[in-house]
Structure 1
């Protein structure tokens, strides 16, 4: 049996572009965004396959390369809404066959994903790690984060905001990952990612960057893939010890 491809089949020879007229109540920027969506093969393919977002293909492509989402793994998707990455995780680890578990967390309300456990909560909440551990019946093997703050149009500000989310995601991951586990997170190239990378290189056996084909060419986004968790950094361990003493 052949597995699903991790991208759309590109038509050869012809390009059927869709042009969108600017409506009276629609700004030029929203018109251009809509036109890009309608002409995006990943958007079209996501609709065909029932994925909730084109971002599903980014995780498919990352996993095709690094082969982390094996059946039986326990996976956490942070900032899971609308659920595209959660859907991919369910497909690959097969919790419905009793071979793994997938938990999606988001502060936003999200439609349930068949085969996954979803919580509407802030993963920074004090009880979030314990709730997750209970839902997974143990620590996580993989923590995923495709979180991004709404774009401001100012590259430096956007970079700082997304790196802040990535660092928060790793703060959480360091509390819930099992030894040998993996962490995948969206980051933006721009200079301030060094702090996070230094932490990951101390805590994991391997840290690599990857930009899947589904990432738009004009986007500064890339993904950090850290494999072989060796335990949290000294800063993380000290923070845990302080919490335990309170």
Structure 2
């Protein structure tokens, strides 16, 4: 490896025809976490200039869309949207594109390598990075299908643990990863979320439920917004207040609140 990793990946991107050196970050993330799979519908948020779109199309071969405030130069087989991911109008355009292109109800993977324009004030830049990543997370929740996957770049700092907890409330598996292609001195890190959790119930949420049945393991079975919740020690016909402890893609576990 040459001493200057930045130069190495910059030159490699030029040789292999990628629009940015960041293309290799996505390749390395995907090798480790298998975020994008053959036939997937993929949405790239903050996609300009398009390096991640190029890789996403190679990996998926399916419907790939890029969204950015800036125009994105055309990439064969890739759809682009000019818009703000914080706006419902943009989210609606993304959903329409997914439905039109893949006939799916949501994206399989949402990726985001966006970063704020740096001011040189680290606290300010970190806060803006967290804000941008949070907007990407909120957008991803609206356009991902159940069990969908998510990758977002964020700058490390004092707000990072809280952001990780937000992602953990939305996905079954959450990890942070720094690919080799990131600059050695960079504070950027990528947060990977796998298996999007349903909107029906929230971890830590409190609900009043009626136990409809008792499962083979002896746990009471209730429903919250038609979502199955298991409650330990509850009896059929009992109405009680519960707090959600864990949420899985198809069911949740709750505990009685005395």
* TM-score interval (norm. to shorter): 0.7 to 0.9
The answer to whether 1:62 aligns with 2:29 is yes
| 2:243 alignment counterpart | none
Which runs of structure 1 show a deviation greater than 4 angstroms over 4 or more consecutive aligned residues? Answer: 232-235
Candidates 41, 63, 85, aligned match of 1:101: 63
1:194 deviation in Å? Answer: 2.6
Candidates 182, 194, 197, aligned match of 1:215: 182
| 2:256 alignment counterpart | none
Counterparts of 1:125 and 1:71 in 2: how far apart (Å)?
Answer: 30
Counterparts of 1:189 and 1:132 in 2: how far apart (Å)?
Answer: 29
The answer to whether 1:204 aligns with 2:171 is yes
Counterparts of 1:161 and 1:42 in 2: how far apart (Å)?
Answer: 26
Q: How many pairs align? A: 197
Cα root mean square deviation, aligned = 1.8
Counterparts of 1:219 and 1:133 in 2: how far apart (Å)?
Answer: 34
Counterparts of 1:157 and 1:125 in 2: how far apart (Å)?
Answer: 23
User: Structure 2 matches for 1:82-101, cutoff 5 A?
Assistant: 82-94=49-61, 100-101=62-63
Counterparts of 1:107 and 1:115 in 2: how far apart (Å)?
Answer: 20
User: Structure 2 matches for 1:169-184, cutoff 5 A?
Assistant: 169-184=136-151
SS of the aligned residue for 1:127 comes to helix
Counterparts of 1:231 and 1:111 in 2: how far apart (Å)?
Answer: 35
1:231 deviation in Å? Answer: 2.4
The answer to whether 1:149 aligns with 2:111 is no
1:234 deviation in Å? Answer: 4.8
- Structure 1 or 2: larger strand share? 2
Counterparts of 2:169 and 2:86 in 1: how far apart (Å)?
Answer: 23
1:159 deviation in Å? Answer: 0.7
- Structure 1 or 2: larger helix share? 1
Q: TM-score, normalised by structure 2?
A: 0.72
1:128 deviation in Å? Answer: 1.7
1:197 deviation in Å? Answer: 1.5
For structure 1, which segment, 155-164 or 193-202, has the greater mean C-alpha deviation from structure 2 after superposition? 193-202
Q: Which runs of 5+ in 1 are unaligned?
A: 1-9, 16-35, 95-99, 236-246
Does structure 2 conserve the Cα–Cα contact (< 8 Å) formed by 1:174 and 1:231? no
Q: Which runs of 5+ in 2 are unaligned?
A: 100-104, 204-258
Candidates 35, 43, 48, aligned match of 2:15: 48
1:176 deviation in Å? Answer: 0.9
Q: TM-score, normalised by structure 1?
A: 0.76
Counterparts of 1:234 and 1:202 in 2: how far apart (Å)?
Answer: 7
